[in-house]
């Protein structure tokens, strides 16, 4: 004798009507396939369908029967109603096995899902989030342990009433918020803390129900606390970027002086050369022409050195102005990209690049001082030259 399969039994359940707490039912067979399926159901003890009466099963007739739920090992899990599903140790937290709910006439393979089943599946997704955010989860995935900010156990208890009023919109918001690529670990930590703070004062039996009733508050807390974290993270990130930019520009500013340090060091050397190389008439045996040519050559060398030094300093000052323009550009970019964090840094004391601008000002003063020292040296050299060198008009007397 052939055996009834799960698909045939589910077809019968979808056609049947039940009463007396699902202990009795009746069914009208309106197709040859249902006739065959019902005969097989009545003939098998495993189905839990027992015919009331002995009439033969024929087409377009109604039959009454006693009913008990079949074994899950034979036909998958079959529940009288959604509450039985919610109370099942496996299905209250997972739905990876086949199941059928009699009063909904819904099978897990059906494409069209009642609203309460959609809510049930949304709740299972929420439990997955809890599992990834909790410190420990039991093997049935129905008991969670959170450790921060304090230890709290959360066991899954809910009913069809809870499912019907489930805030699916908030679950979707929480899910979308957490699974975004950025800072997922930190978001889960914030999420677990929000759960503990919201539910810790509730008794364990009603803790999960309280959590589900406050999903909107949980999301608002999550959003707020993450904004605080993100602000602190952005603050540190922007602070590091500014410090790196400052260091880079300070190296460039320092290089402005080091690039011409040999010429700067040449100023005292040139002074010594002038002081020792100018010749008096006595030192050249009163050879006026020789003394004039020698001293004039030395003076012209000093003049050329000072002119070159002046152009070098002018070039370095223009480099400083270019650096200042670049720093202003970076400063404005930081201000535009992260205005809130930038203002937070400014409120701490001073503009982020104020030290660099001050350094540029100091370097400009140093370059100007060197410039004037060179000019002063040239003037002094000229007076020394004039004092000890024969007047060229002497040659035309």
Q: CA triplet 263, 265, 269: central angle to 5 degrees?
A: 105
Q: pTM, whole model, 2 decimals?
A: 0.60
pLDDT at residue 234 greater than cutoff 60: no
pLDDT at residue 2 greater than cutoff 70: yes
66-120: per-residue pLDDT in tens? 999 998 888 989 999 999 999 998 999 988 899 999 999 999 999 999 999 999 9
pLDDT for position 181: 59
Phi first, then psi, for residue 12 (nearest 5°) are -65, -45
pLDDT for position 393: 62
**Tokens found for residue 112:** 């069209």
Q: Which of 50-64, 81-95, 165-179, 285-299 has the lowest mean pLDDT?
A: 285-299
Mind giving me the DSSP string for 2-69?
Answer: ----HHHHHHHHHH-EEETTTTEEEEE--SHHHHHHHHHHHH-GGG-EEESS-PPP-TT-EEEEEE-P
Q: What is the mean pLDDT of residues 321-346?
A: 77
What pLDDT band is residue 367 in, cutting at 50, 70 and 90?
A: confident
What pLDDT band is residue 395 in, cutting at 50, 70 and 90?
A: low
If you ran DSSP here, which 8-state letter would residue 396 be given?
Answer: G
Q: Is 309 left (phi over 0), alpha (psi -120 to 50) or beta?
A: alpha
Q: Which residues contact 328 (CB under 8 A, 6 or more apart)?
A: none
Considering the chain, what is the average pLDDT of its residues?
83
pLDDT at residue 271 greater than cutoff 80: no
Q: Tabulate helix, strand, coil % of the chain (nearest 5).
A: 65, 10, 25
pLDDT for position 187: 83
Q: What is the mean pLDDT of residues 258-269?
A: 66
pLDDT for position 230: 66
The secondary structure of 189-231, three-state, reads HHHHHHHHHHHCCCCHHHHHHHHHHCHHHHHHHHHHHHHHHHH
pLDDT for position 166: 92
**Residue 163 near residue 113, CB atoms below 8 Å:** no
Other C-beta atoms lying within 10 Å of the C-beta of residue 84: 19
**Closest CA relative to residue 71, chosen from 39, 44, 38, 105:** 44
| pLDDT more than 90, % of the chain | 29
pLDDT for position 361: 85
**Tokens found for residue 309:** 């030094």
Please state, in angstroms and rounded to a whole number, the distance separating the CA atoms of residues 162 and 126: 14
pLDDT for position 36: 92
**Tokens found for residue 351:** 């503009």
**Tokens found for residue 20:** 């007396």
Please give the biggest Cα pair distance in the chain.
Answer: 159
Q: Which residues contact 62 (CB under 8 A, 6 or more apart)?
A: 26, 27, 28
**Residue 215 near residue 170, CB atoms below 8 Å:** yes
Number of Cα atoms under 13 Å in the Cβ half of residue 219:
17
pLDDT for position 83: 94
pLDDT for position 391: 67
Please state, in angstroms and rounded to a whole number, the distance separating the CA atoms of residues 279 and 260: 30
The b-or-e profile of 116-138 (16+ CB within 10 A means b, else e) is bbebbebbbebbebbeebbeebe
Q: What is the mean pLDDT of residues 273-285?
A: 68
Please state, in angstroms and rounded to a whole number, the distance separating the CA atoms of residues 145 and 131: 9
What pLDDT band is residue 151 in, cutting at 50, 70 and 90?
A: confident
**Segments making up each domain of the chain, as ranges:** 6-107, 115-228, 232-396
């Amino acid at each position: 004798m052939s055996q009834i399969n799960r698909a045939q039994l589910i077809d019968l359940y979808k056609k049947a009507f039940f009463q007396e707490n699902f202990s009795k039912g009746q069914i009208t067979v309106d197709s040859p396939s249902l006739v065959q399926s019902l005969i097989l159901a009545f003939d098998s003890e495993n189905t839990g369908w027992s015919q009331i009466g002995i009439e033969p099963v024929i087409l377009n007739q109604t039959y009454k029967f006693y009913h008990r739920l079949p074994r899950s090992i034979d036909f998958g899990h079959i529940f009288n109603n959604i509450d039985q599903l919610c109370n099942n140790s496996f299905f209250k937290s997972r739905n990876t096995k086949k199941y059928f709910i009699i009063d909904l006439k819904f099978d897990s393979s059906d494409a069209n899902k009642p609203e309460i089943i959609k809510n049930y599946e949304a709740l299972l997704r929420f439990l997955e989030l809890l599992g990834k955010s909790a410190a420990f989860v039991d093997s049935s995935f129905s008991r969670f342990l959170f450790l921060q900010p304090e230890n709290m156990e959360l066991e899954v208890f809910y009913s069809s009433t809870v499912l019907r009023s489930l805030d699916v919109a908030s679950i979707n918001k929480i899910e979308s918020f957490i699974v975004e690529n950025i800072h997922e670990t930190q978001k889960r930590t914030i999420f677990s803390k929000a759960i503990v703070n919201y539910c810790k004062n509730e008794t364990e039996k009603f803790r999960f129900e309280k959590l589900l009733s406050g999903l909107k508050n949980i999301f608002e807390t999550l959003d707020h606390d993450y904004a605080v974290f993100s602000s602190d993270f952005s603050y540190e990130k922007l602070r590091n970027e500014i410090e790196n930019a400052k260091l880079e520009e300070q190296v460039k500013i320092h290089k402005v002086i080091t690039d011409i340090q040999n010429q700067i060091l040449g100023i005292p050397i040139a002074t010594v050369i002038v002081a020792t190389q100018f010749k008096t008439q006595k030192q050249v045996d009163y050879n006026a022409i020789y003394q004039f040519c020698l001293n004039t050559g030395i003076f012209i060398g000093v003049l050329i050195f000072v002119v070159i030094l002046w152009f070098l300093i002018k070039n370095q000052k223009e480099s400083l102005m270019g650096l200042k323009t670049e720093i202003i550009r970076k400063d404005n970019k930081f201000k535009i990209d992260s205005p809130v964090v930038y203002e937070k840094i400014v409120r701490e004391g001073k503009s982020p690049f104020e030290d660099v601008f001050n350094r540029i000002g100091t370097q400009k003063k140093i370059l100007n001082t060197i410039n004037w020292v060179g000019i002063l040296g040239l003037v002094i050299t000229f007076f020394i030259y004039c004092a000890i060198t024969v007047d060229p008009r002497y040659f035309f007397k």
